[in-house]
């Protein structure tokens, strides 16, 4: 896919209640993954997180999907089948959710099974100007040059604020597999995210499962 093609990223982080039956968790994951049949997404994957690296917001599962346009995302959000899955399979078993959407010019249409994702949301200080935001985004965009294990880096500014809990900057680093996630940890000191502009962050890791698996 050409880097100039626009992709709309949609990430939902989910915190499942601790005592929920595994069958209900599986039904949620299967219901979300089945939404690929709507033919509105260019990529969709839902499953259990490999780990949550944030202490303040501890999520357990993720939905990651990609669209050709904001209109396709809006159509997906209001589609009766999506609404049914949310109403029947998600809301009854979760404690918390958050969702972030952004436009990426560097994302591919789909991701390979077994690929690992490092998803990061950043909450910036209030009243930062566009120049300061652009600097943070520029630094994030340079991460791919510092970490050769990153196959793809998608990043941008959130445009849906109702469920984002105040987080405004998002990124997804895609790596060949979970072993490569360690390289990001070992070399974390190389990355300068201009932390004086950042209040806090949410960081989660996820490995894309085969579509036929529930990945409980």
Mean pLDDT per 10-residue run, the chain (216 residues)?
Answer: 70 97 97 94 95 86 96 97 98 97 84 94 86 86 88 94 94 94 68 67 93 44
216 located within any domain: no
**Residue (of 87, 184, 86, 83) closest to 140 by Cα position:** 184
Instruction: Return the pLDDT at 74.
Output: 97
2 located within any domain: no
205 CB-near residues (< 8 Å, 6+ apart): 49, 50, 51, 53, 116, 117, 118, 119, 178, 181
188: DSSP letter: G
125 located within any domain: yes
H-state helical runs in 57-173: 70-78, 80-85, 130-141, 143-146
104 located within any domain: yes
Number of domains within the chain: 1
Order of strands, edge to edge, in the sheet holding 116-124?
Answer: 51-52, 198-207, 116-124, 169-175, 152-157
- 56: domain CATH number is 3.30.70.100
- Read off φ and ψ for residue 157, nearest 5 degrees: -100, 130
Which range marks the domain in which residue 57 is found?
A: 7-207
Instruction: Return the pLDDT at 215.
Output: 38
The dihedral over CA atoms of 214, 37, 204, 58, expressed in degrees to the nearest 10, equals -70
- Contact by Cβ (8 Å): 174, 209: no
**What are the beta bridge partners of residue 103?**
8
213 located within any domain: no
134 located within any domain: yes
- Contact by Cβ (8 Å): 159, 101: yes
145 located within any domain: yes
Instruction: Return the pLDDT at 18.
Output: 94
Q: What's CA 45's distance to the chain center, in Å?
A: 10
155 located within any domain: yes
Q: What's CA 3's distance to the chain center, in Å?
A: 19
- Contact by Cβ (8 Å): 13, 39: no
Instruction: Return the pLDDT at 85.
Output: 98
**Model confidence, pTM:** 0.90
């Amino acid at each position: 896919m050409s880097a100039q093609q626009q992709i709309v990223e949609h990430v939902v982080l989910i915190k499942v209640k601790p005592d929920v039956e595994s069958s209900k968790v599986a039904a949620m994951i299967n219901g979300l993954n089945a939404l690929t049949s709507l033919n509105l997404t260019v990529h969709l994957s839902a499953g259990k997180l490999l780990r949550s690296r944030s202490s303040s917001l501890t999520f357990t599962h993720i939905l990651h999907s990609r669209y050709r346009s904001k209109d396709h995302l809006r159509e997906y959000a209001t589609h009766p089948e999506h609404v049914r899955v949310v109403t029947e399979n998600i809301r009854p078993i979760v404690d918390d959710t958050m969702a972030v959407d952004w436009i990426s010019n560097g994302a591919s249409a789909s991701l390979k099974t077994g690929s690992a994702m490092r998803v990061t949301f950043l909450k910036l200080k209030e009243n930062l100007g566009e120049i300061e935001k652009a600097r943070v985004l520029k630094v994030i965009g340079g991460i791919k040059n510092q970490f050769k294990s990153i196959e793809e880096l998608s990043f941008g500014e959130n445009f849906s604020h109702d469920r984002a809990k105040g987080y405004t900057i998002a990124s997804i680093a895609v790596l060949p597999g979970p072993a490569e996630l360690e390289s990001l940890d070992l070399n974390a000191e190389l990355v300068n995210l201009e932390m004086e502009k950042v209040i806090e962050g949410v960081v989660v890791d996820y490995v894309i499962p085969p579509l036929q698996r529930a990945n409980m």
